[in-house]
Amino acid sequence: MLLYLCAALGGMALGLAGGGLGVAAILGRGGVAVRFVILAIFLVAIALAVMSLYAIWLMTALDPGDDGTERPGHWRRIARGGLIASVLLGMINSMSGTLFFLGALGASTTGGPAAPPVPPSWATVIGLVAGTVGFVGNLGLFQYAQQLARRIPDDQLVAHTRRAMYGLLIPAAVMQVGGFFVNTFGGVGTTGPPTMWIAVVGCPTALAALVAVGFWIYTVVLMFRYRRAFVACAADARRRWSVDGSRKAE
């Protein structure tokens, strides 16, 4: 999960950088250099997405102690399906955004027809769907982690995981709704609510982002606690297996 969180943080950083360069492309600033940097950011984002897919596959692997009776709606399966679908939709959205910004830059440098002032509306819809599916996937991941913590058993770890779940998912929901509102009604060249209303929505969205960063750090620390607990469980299992094998040999 640490690999997944690092990939997600890198993706957010690249998204901010790409957004700034995209604005420069729309305004016709930077020329060919901006075009190459936008393309490079896109390629790195794809690499991070692939790393996320690998991390998701590892995190949601079947429990070795499973007896084959896992239900179809198990949280592990929900987490795997939701997170993988979210990453793939994000890759599609990233590709569409990159093509849009490159097209805007090409129009501004060649004097051709101006690119649309905002990305196509379907890209916003894909982003909303990806965020919603990702929310469900992360909910499944936290629930599955709590199930594993109960099997250890470690009640404190369960409580910390539940706290991290609320601390990350509630701000994520606020950011998703706020971002969709601003992108849909407050984009450049669109007619929508007055700027004051955009600020009213943007302030809680920015606050939610700060809260999410704090709980992201909290979750990273929590992942190290999970690692220690799993290592201790594995050592205990090997010790028991060794003792049982010695008794059988006698």
Amino acid 194: pLDDT:
52
Amino acid 25: pLDDT:
46
How does residue 215 score in pLDDT terms, banded at 50, 70 and 90? Answer: very high
pTM score, two decimals? 0.76
Alpha helices (H) along 60-154: 75-110, 121-151
pLDDT at 80 over 70: yes
The residue ranking higher by pLDDT, 202 or 10, is: 202
pLDDT at 188 over 50: no
Separation between Cα atoms, residue 106 and residue 100, nearest integer Å: 10
Amino acid 121: pLDDT:
65
CA distances 62 to 34, 42, 77, 89, Å, are: 44, 32, 9, 24
Closest CA to 26 of 14, 16, 38, 15: 38
How does residue 117 score in pLDDT terms, banded at 50, 70 and 90? Answer: very low
Amino acid 142: pLDDT:
94
State the sign of the Cα–Cα–Cα–Cα dihedral 242, 245, 249, 250: positive
Q: Per-residue pLDDT tens for 12-30?
A: 554 544 454 444 444 445 5
Q: Determine the average pLDDT of the residues in 201-225.
A: 87
pLDDT at 196 over 70: no
Q: Do 50 and 56 contact (CB within 8 A), yes or no?
A: no
Separation between Cα atoms, residue 45 and residue 247, nearest integer Å: 54
Q: Determine the average pLDDT of the residues in 139-154.
A: 91
Task: Give the distance from CA 203 to its chain's centroid.
Answer: 22
Q: Determine the average pLDDT of the residues in 218-231.
A: 90
Q: Determine the average pLDDT of the residues in 104-114.
A: 50
- Percent share of the chain, pLDDT over 90: 19
Amino acid 240: pLDDT:
80
Average pLDDT, the chain: 74
Amino acid 27: pLDDT:
46
How does residue 54 score in pLDDT terms, banded at 50, 70 and 90? Answer: confident
Q: What are the backbone dihedrals phi and psi of residue 189, each rounded to the nearest 5 degrees, phi first?
A: 85, 5
Q: Determine the average pLDDT of the residues in 215-239.
A: 88
